[in-house]
Amino acid sequence: MFEKEQQLIETKIKEFCTANDIPLAELKWQPIPFSGEWGLATAFFQTAANEARAGRGSKAPVPQRAQEIAELVKAQIGSVAGISRIDAVKGYLNLYYSTAEYARRVMEEVLASRADFGRGAKKNERVMVEYAQPNTHHSFHIGHARNTILGEVLARLVEFAGFETIRASYPGDLGLGVITVMWIYDKLYKGQEPEGVHERGQWLANLYVEATSMLEKQENETPEQTAQREAYDAERREMYRRWDTGDTYVRELWRTTREWSLEELRAVLHMLDVKMDVWFYESEVDEASKTIVDELIAKDIATDERPQGGAVIVKIDEKLGLTKEKYRTNVLLRSDGTTLYLTKDLALAKMKFDQYHVDRSIYVVDVRQSLHLQQAFAILKLWGFPQAGKCYHLGYGFVSLPEGAMSARRGRVVLFKDVADEAVRRVLAVESQKSGDIPASEREKIANQIGLGALVYSMLSVDNNKDIVFDINEALSFDGRTGPYIQNAYVRANSILKKAGKQVAGTQVSTSFDYELTKHEIELIELISRFPQTVEQAANEYRPLVMAAYAYDLANIFHSFYHAVNVLQTEDEKIQNARLQLVMAAKQTIENALRLLDIQAPEVM
């Protein structure tokens, strides 16, 4: 917002250094910390160090010489319009903005852009974010929720940062797990179908647990039990074979049961306000993946060992000319001619590049699949896709339970829907004592917004490379560094504006901040002004946490401001108008941040 002034000063510094033979290092600017005032700072340590190395300048120690240079530069610059003061402190040059002017510029920008405040300039690049890849015939658990929330927030961030963004889901709708559920359904539960989308999804998950116990080798089996188990397994294998050959009955059974899972997935995505653009199904990619194998063999990227009774493999390190073991060797086609996960991911990547013209491809996948994805990216590079360098794996630590890893097999999972329901119950339980007057018709909706807000924020406030041990009391906490804390800041801002009523309508952009601002107002304006660069950083680094941390900081400062400064009781009308405008800007910025975090902003709570 002060780019022009900054440019002018940079030019002056450069001129001064050239004239005085000072080897100026690159100028890096940062906000002045702990000042209670706004401004930019740059350090001269590097310059002083350069000078010392070249044997020039005074023989003073670096910090002292840096301070000398800062003082000389300060004297040289003189006064600049829009900059109230320049200080040389501890080797830093601090430029303080004129407060009234700074506040005016920030407010003007927020209130002119509104929902677009912080939006980055349009980039000519198309990004695809792939997330939400649960297996069908199971139920959506809290680990899937972390994946989906991270993916959605990342998509929102890159989209808001200016990239054309495509959201892609990739459900795993084939494999032994799927067949296992179909087998037990067909054998024991045919014709049954619980009411309710989520109930049906959970029922399938339970069938899987039951089937697993029937098919797994038990300790101290009697010969009869062993025979029984082997018979079951033979039935399951037969069903897999029939599925493979396209048997009408089995395929129909598959489509029906799969649809139950997909309905549940769509319902969960709807709850999380996720609108997928593209659905890739593993079963569909499977067909396509068979054709790429021949192409990779023809290009001499893959090695066909089938004539020797082996598989089709890619010796990745060898093909890349690496002498040290890095990507190793991986199989593309089993010796029985069936494809693997890697084969499908390669085919899918090709589809993304060729059909969807994706320039940048982000995979939100569990960190344990890091090697696998690095292998896939390396093969894409060998294949000659220029986008291979812009494939990025956003790995995240897995979500486990206090009693250990989740296991769909054993039914030891925490289902997303159960947690979400519990969240709503807990909000409703405290609503009567904590909330103001909320119309009965709104209660459920607001409880949903707050409950999900708590859950979503708990998934975002931990950096993605960290594992999470899921504790429902922590995830659904409403106090302190949580979603509801941020939502409450929004509600309070809204409440002030609502009560102000008339004044808001009359508030003009011409409002002046030409009065002595309190420390809280200064901090609030400062943080609002940093929103655009925070969006950029979070999107560039693919880190939702950066935005989550910002939203908390902004809410935190707003809460302090709220207590310290009573807006509606401000007597001077001019000052009150300025403060109302500040509240409007804060409300807007919190709203924009919450939207990026996939958390709803309730009007009351």
The contact mask relative to RNA for 142-181 (x = CB under 7 A, - = no) is ------------------------------x--xx-----
On the CB side of 444, CA atoms within 13 Å amount to 2
Burial zone of 443 (CB within 10 Å; 0-12 exposed, 13-18 middle, 19+ buried): middle
Q: Which is nearer to RNA, 162 or 310 (CB)?
A: 310
Residues β-bridged to residue 83: 97
Q: Is 140 in the site for RNA (CB under 7 A)?
A: no
The contact mask relative to RNA for 437-466 (x = CB under 7 A, - = no) is -x-------x---x----------xxx-xx
Q: Is 215 in the site for RNA (CB under 7 A)?
A: no
Q: Compute CA distances 259 → 107, 272, 457, 505, whole Å.
A: 50, 20, 30, 51
Q: Is 552 in the site for RNA (CB under 7 A)?
A: yes
Q: Is 18 in the site for RNA (CB under 7 A)?
A: no
Q: Compute CA distances 546 → 395, 464, 536, whole Å.
A: 16, 11, 10
Q: Which is nearer to RNA, 45 or 97 (CB)?
A: 45
Q: Is 567 in the site for RNA (CB under 7 A)?
A: yes
Task: Kindly state the smallest distance separating residue 195's Cβ from RNA, in Å.
Answer: 30
* Segment holding 381, helix H or strand E: helix 370-383
Task: Kindly state the smallest distance separating residue 529's Cβ from RNA, in Å.
Answer: 17
Instruction: Give the integer Cα–Cα distance in Å for 346 and 418.
Output: 36
**Are 250 and 190 within 8 A, CB to CB?**
no
**Angular region, 321: left φ>0, alpha ψ -120 to 50, beta rest:** left
Q: Which of 3, 195, 325, 571 binds RNA (CB under 7 A)?
A: 325
The contact mask relative to RNA for 84-113 (x = CB under 7 A, - = no) is -----xxxx-x-------------------
- Strands of 83-89's sheet in order across: 30-31, 39-43, 92-97, 83-89
Scan for tokens 């306000």, then name that residue.
273
Q: Which of 1, 27, 46, 390 binds RNA (CB under 7 A)?
A: 46
Structure-block tokens of residue 90: 């501890």
Task: Kindly state the smallest distance separating residue 602's Cβ from RNA, in Å.
Answer: 8
CA gyration radius, the chain:
30
Q: Which of 262, 527, 562, 586 binds RNA (CB under 7 A)?
A: 562
Q: Is 307 in the site for RNA (CB under 7 A)?
A: no
Q: What residues between 498 and 537 interact with RNA by CB under 7 A?
A: 499
Q: Is 13 in the site for RNA (CB under 7 A)?
A: no
Which region, judged by CB under 7 A, interacts with RNA, from 60-68, 151-159, 266-274, 412-420?
60-68
Give the residue from 392, 386, 232, 378 showing the smallest Cα distance to 319.
378
Instruction: Give the integer Cα–Cα distance in Å for 141 and 148.
Output: 11
Q: Is 311 in the site for RNA (CB under 7 A)?
A: yes
Q: Is 435 in the site for RNA (CB under 7 A)?
A: yes
**Are 491 and 463 within 8 A, CB to CB?**
no
Q: Is 12 in the site for RNA (CB under 7 A)?
A: no
Which region, judged by CB under 7 A, interacts with RNA, from 72-80, 199-207, 247-255, 307-315?
307-315
Q: Which of 2, 45, 97, 254 binds RNA (CB under 7 A)?
A: 45
Spatial neighbors of 481 by CB under 8 A, at least 6 apart, are 461, 552
Which region, judged by CB under 7 A, interacts with RNA, from 78-86, 338-346, 379-387, 584-592?
338-346
Q: What residues between 346 and 405 interact with RNA by CB under 7 A?
A: 367-372
Q: Which is nearer to RNA, 123 or 328 (CB)?
A: 328
At CA 163, angle to CA 156 and CA 399, rounded to 5?
35
Q: Is 478 in the site for RNA (CB under 7 A)?
A: yes
**Are 598 and 272 within 8 A, CB to CB?**
yes
